[in-house]
Structure 1
Amino acid sequence: MSRTFVIGDIHGSYRALPQIIERAGVAIGDRLVFLGDYVDGWSESVPVINYLIKLKATHNCVFIRGNHDDLVMEWLKTGEYTEEWFNHGGRSTMEAYNTLDDATKQVHILFLESLEDYFLDENNRLFVHAGFTNMNGVTHEYFSKLFYWDRTLWETALALDTNIKKDSPFYPKRFTHYKEVYIGHTPVSRLSETTPVNKANIWNLDTGAAYKGPLTIMNADTKEYWQSDPVHTLYPEEGGRN
């Protein structure tokens, strides 16, 4: 029986990827849903994309678009970037891509262009990088960039009174459309956590791989999860993101 695995933010931590795939015992028939932010942070964004492109050829993969992925795609296509991006993980990505030939860059651009804003599976489980703001759900969202920039969904989940019933007029309508919502984008390390955090029906799998945390893969059916070594220990020669 095939399983659905969901993978949190990678942020250039190529050395952590084979660890979680092996530790989870991923099989050919399993579905892998990646929540985005494959690049920026650690120095191996290019090997991460190469790995994912090869994985797509052999496995059932769903690749969600993260905000960092969108920023890198725009830079690769136009040469334009912001200082904020450059200082929050973009520097190492830019340095890596500047060593590549144009043909390889084009392959990566095509991959980044193919990323999905969200994925809704057959069990009404939503997978999205950051969140959404429309109270009627993702199909009513006005601005697609919110799928990979929004933080209000997670902030609302954290602030929600656990005593409020789902049929209460005060219960967030956004939480009622989907059985579960899987997100990344906002590291749970901000809550002093390094494992997936569940609030209401929202699961946050960004376990801080860009910083001092591990990379995480979770079985969406059983909620069992596996983690890499803390990523900073895999890159002792680097400082990671600040």
Structure 2
Amino acid sequence: MEQIYIIGDVHGCYKSLLALIEQLPNKKNSKIVFVGDLIDRGKNSCEVIELIINNNYDCVMGNHEELFLEYAPNKDEFGNDFNMENSLHYLEKCGGKATIESYKSKEIYLKHYDFIKNLPLYLEYKDYKTADDRYLVVSHSAVVNVWDKRDSKDKFDIENFENQLLYKRYKQFDNKDIFNVYGHTPRSEAKLTSFDANVDLGCVYKKEKVINPRLCALEFPSMKVYTQENIE
């Protein structure tokens, strides 16, 4: 059976990403999906997104992509008078400044802005299943007990669903029919249970926050884990 590779939070670590992909059996020709947080903190967010676009890899929205859309320059502001005052938290505390500085071309910036704007909150892969017949769902944070609200039209349900998939942490919930792979919360090792997996190994962070900062790819459904240390 063909395998799919789910890669954890990249955060602009382009060299580490290339090295991780080189470890995969089919390298750049592998079927790859990213759990979001492609950008911010690391220095090469532009290169990361360009690689994903050029290779037609899948990706879901992360909270850093959502922050980018809210606080980064829009098409009229990039390269002009951008009011940083309203964006200081994103630029300084969330690593947004490194993302903006990685762009040297307005044309590429606007192409990537549109790409980020159209990222989905989650992706379902119903042809990829575990031995106990759970199909793959990829999201930025775990879908936990809001998964059954994904098609709700209720305003509260919609807000709760989006907030959970982008920002919430540390819940666990077995949705029976799905195997959920996500990132968002850095760990020292990949977490694998019978119903979900966290593949964020904190590649961009220093060892004070994560014991062994690495980038991770989970081969699904074999559950083989590939890791790459930060070589930025």
- TM bucket (normalised to shorter chain) is 0.7 to 0.9
SS at match of 1:226: strand
Q: Which residue type is aligned with residue 183 of structure 1?
A: Y
* 1:29 positional shift: 6.2
**Correspondence list, 1:42-81, <5 A:** 42-56=42-56, 61-74=57-70, 75-77=72-74, 81=86
SS at match of 2:148: coil
1:113-163 residue CA offsets vs partner (Å, 9 max, x unmatched): 221110111132211001335262533452234321122xxx222xxxxxx
Q: Structure 1 residues 138 and 131, CA, compared in 2 at 3 Å: closer, same or farther?
A: farther
Alignment correspondent of 1:129: 140
User: How many residues matched?
Assistant: 202
Q: Structure 1 residues 42 and 224, CA, compared in 2 at 3 Å: closer, same or farther?
A: same
Q: Structure 1 residues 179 and 134, CA, compared in 2 at 3 Å: closer, same or farther?
A: closer
1:48-106 residue CA offsets vs partner (Å, 9 max, x unmatched): 111111111xxxx2211111112223313275753332212112112223xx2321111
**TM-score (ref. length: structure 2):** 0.78
* 1:9 positional shift: 0.3
Alpha-carbon RMSD across the aligned residues, in angstroms, is 2.2
**Correspondence list, 1:1-242, <5 A:** 1-26=1-26, 30-56=30-56, 61-74=57-70, 75-77=72-74, 81-86=86-91, 87-97=93-103, 100-122=104-126, 123=129, 124-132=135-143, 133-134=145-146, 136-140=148-152, 141-143=157-159, 144-151=162-169, 155-157=170-172, 172=173, 175-188=174-187, 193=188, 195-199=189-193, 201-212=195-206, 213-229=213-229, 231=230, 234-235=231-232
Question: Is the contact between residue 76 and residue 109 of structure 1 (CA under 8 Å) also seen in structure 2?
Answer: no
Structure 1: where are the runs of 5+ without partners? 158-171, 236-242
Q: Which residue type is aligned with residue 199 of structure 2?
A: L
SS at match of 1:73: helix
Q: Structure 1 residues 85 and 199, CA, compared in 2 at 3 Å: closer, same or farther?
A: farther
Q: Which residue type is aligned with residue 148 of structure 1?
A: L
More strand by percentage: 2
Q: Which residue type is aligned with residue 94 of structure 1?
A: I
Structure 2: where are the runs of 5+ without partners? 130-134, 207-212
Distance (whole Å) between structure 2 residues aligned to residue 135 and residue 88 of structure 1: 28
* 1:200 positional shift: 5.1
Sequence identity (%): 22
Distance (whole Å) between structure 2 residues aligned to residue 69 and residue 12 of structure 1: 12
Q: Structure 1 residues 30 and 82, CA, compared in 2 at 3 Å: closer, same or farther?
A: same
Question: Is the contact between residue 130 and residue 149 of structure 1 (CA under 8 Å) also seen in structure 2?
Answer: yes
SS at match of 2:43: coil
Question: Is the contact between residue 52 and residue 58 of structure 2 (CA under 8 Å) also seen in structure 1?
Answer: no
Question: Is the contact between residue 137 and residue 177 of structure 1 (CA under 8 Å) also seen in structure 2?
Answer: no
* 1:199 positional shift: 4.0
Q: Which residue type is aligned with residue 76 of structure 1?
A: P
